[in-house]
Amino acid sequence: MTEPAPPGADAPTRDAPPPDADVVAEAVTLEGPSADGMPRRHGPAPATDRVALERQVQQTEKMVSVGLLAAGVAHEVNTPLAGISSYTQLMRAQMDPGDVRVEWLDKIEKQTLRGARIVSNLLNFARAGGSDEASLDIAKVVLDVLSLVEHQLEKAHVRVVKQFSPDLPPVVGSENKIQQVLFNLILNARDAMPSGGWLTIKTSLEGREVVIEVSDTGEGIPEADLPRIFDPFFTTKDVGQGTGLGLAVSYGIVQEHGGEIEVRSRMGEGTEFVVSLPLSQPVQEAAPALAGHG
């Protein structure tokens, strides 16, 4: 299902935005603290830098508040959800397959599982940094995620373009959590293209960071929504179609890894998410042959 080149004449939807198009962007910089305890930043003019830093602080405060709330709420909600699910399965097992009530129980079970998924996402806010950190091959992580969502993308008529930089140095992180970020970004891209389209995933080396770009040819995100796109429970999807936690969870995971996440979008053209993760060791040691690729 993957395509070696960008969309051609048989593309199911519009082409991707041209490189020189005017793009609406909302950047969120997430870097670890420096020696003096202040967040490290690299960027343009000081005024722009200050505004971005203030926005980062505000976003971090939101995440801390939601994390404290989630820790209590998630555990309180999990117990009754488990009871509902268990009794629903028990009742269904005692009924004839043709009983009309089986369909009702199936609906109860489906909504219970949906609630459990929301609780699981909430717990990501309160969960401390895991001990499962390892040296990760980002290309392999991306391919593993694509293999798991391949059927869903095919069903949605979404075709994939992979543009991987060869021999990228490894990054240090939790494979499960980085996979979750990619799941969220890829499935969001699929949802943004209800009639099908092109999903492009690029990896590259920029300085001492491995960069993952996930872009779609969907309808784009309204400019007014960009500043809130990483807010917990904010969603542009229809009621019942999204919890508003996917991008917020992804924000927290990227922050935990000392990285950055950025979104660029233009209405009618598509959206691009860019995730930057620090290398596990200096690029000269990790892959000296790539000195010309940064």
The mean pLDDT of 158-179, rounded to a whole number, is 91
Q: Which of 38, 276, 282, 33 is nearest to 173 (CA)?
A: 276
Q: What is the CATH number of domain 2-64+132-293?
A: 3.30.565.10
The share of the chain scoring above pLDDT 70, in percent, equals 61
Burial per residue of 76-93, b for 16 or more beta-carbon CB atoms within 10 angstroms, e otherwise: ebbeebeebbeebeeebe
User: Which residue from 196, 192, 185 is spatially nearest to 241, judged by alpha carbons?
Assistant: 192
- Which residue from 262, 266, 166, 216 is spatially nearest to 7, judged by alpha carbons? 216
- Over residues 132-152, mean pLDDT: 88
- pLDDT 10s digits, 181-192: 998 899 989 999
pLDDT over 60 (residue 288): no
pLDDT: is 268 or 20 the higher one? 268
pLDDT above 50: residue 292: no
Counting residues of the chain whose pLDDT is more than 90, the rounded percentage is 30
pTM of this structure: 0.55
Task: For the chain, give every domain's residue range.
Answer: 2-64+132-293, 67-126
Confidence at residue 283, expressed as pLDDT on a 0 to 100 scale: 42
pLDDT in tens, 40-91: 444 444 556 566 556 655 555 555 566 666 666 666 787 888 889 899 999 9
Q: How far apart are CA 21 and CA 1, in angstroms?
A: 28
Say whether pLDDT at 276 is over 80. yes
| pLDDT average, residue stretch 224-234 | 77
State the pLDDT confidence band at 285, using cuts at 50, 70 and 90: very low
Q: How far apart are CA 283 and CA 124, in angstroms?
A: 31
- Most confident range, picked from 56-60, 129-133, 230-234: 230-234
Give the three-class secondary structure for 69: helix
pLDDT of res. 116: 79
Strand positions, DSSP E, the chain: 2-3, 24-28, 133-136, 158-164, 171-174, 197-206, 209-216, 260-266, 270-278
Q: Which amino acid is at 79?
A: T
Confidence grade of residue 248 (pLDDT, cut at 50, 70, 90) = confident
